[in-house]
Amino acid sequence: MKNKSKRYEQLKRQAKRLMLAGDVSTYMSKLRELYQLSPGAGALPV
């Protein structure tokens, strides 16, 4: 559980940096990864 939350925070930081840098395609891929790690993501695969 701890590793999952650590990974989530890491992806969140990376996504924020990508957003600020303007790298939209990579930013969107990081958001998809974040969504898959979120607690309610098991219902619909992206």
- Quick: pLDDT tens for 4-28: 888 888 989 999 999 999 999 999 9
- Tell me whether residue 30 is in a domain: yes
- Tell me whether residue 16 is in a domain: yes
Query: Nearest CA to 26 among 35, 36, 16?
Result: 16
- Tell me whether residue 44 is in a domain: no
Q: Is the pTM of this model over 0.85?
A: no
- Tell me whether residue 9 is in a domain: yes
Say how many domains are in the chain: 1
Question: Environment class of residue 37 by beta-carbon count within 10 Å: exposed (0-12), middle (13-18) or buried (19+)?
Answer: middle
- Per the structure, the complete domain to which residue 15 belongs is given by 2-37
Q: pLDDT-based confidence at 46, cuts 50/70/90?
A: very low
